[in-house]
Structure 1
Amino acid sequence: MMMTKEHIHRIHRLAHREWTAAARKLDLSFNEFEYLSAVQAEEDRMRIEDAHGQHLQDIVATLGVTKASASTMIAKLEGRGLVTRFQCQVDARAQHIVLTDAGRALMAQGEAVYERVAARLNSTNE
């Protein structure tokens, strides 16, 4: 099925509504979820490549944000106990960023938002 701009707009509206409702319950903004997703995606990618870990620059590249914005958000997420940082063994100037168990639990709840959106979209297409 080819996606039209109307389909994309509908998906965006539906996802936005679901996130607005879920954000209050989860105590997690969409922006925070995006950063946690970038950390998780990078963790998954690093496991596949068997590399030593990730750095802030990886999140910057994934999200297309400034290093200052990423640094601020990572500090906020760390303060909430959703990510943790530790010094890179290869480059002492850099730090690795990983999800905590609490971060993983919120990620799973955030991903459930998209599962609900997909279910609603699939039910209207049947």
Structure 2
Amino acid sequence: MNANDQVREVCGQLAADPHLKGGYNAIGFSQGGQFLRAVAQRCPSPPMLNLISVGGQHQGVFGFPRCPGESSHICDWIRKTLDLGAYTPAVQEHLVQAEYWHDPLREEDYRKSSIFLADINQERVRSCPVR
């Protein structure tokens, strides 16, 4: 499920729970820490009082580490496939891991096409009038 849709759904559930109206504490591991950070940023009510994030990939992930046989053709093929497809709309919308893919060699593509991570990291390309 798209991370933005997940966050939106959680925001609604949190807001509807009367036990949380005074606020709540959250802890997230790995991907959960990143999603909870988005909840903290996008869902002001009820307020998240404290967030503990353990092992979250807040700057994203890149590459395909520990692929068996680092020089194998299969690992190289997987890396190239990830590099080519990670920022396509279909992959961004349907593969949650692609939503926190951050290719440091394609920074402009990342900022323009990342539907989740670039937004919560406030790296989205914005068009502002020059003053």
Q: TM-score, normalised by structure 1?
A: 0.24
More helix by share: 1
Higher relative contact order (CA 8 A, sep 6+): 1
TM-score w.r.t. the length of structure 2 is 0.24
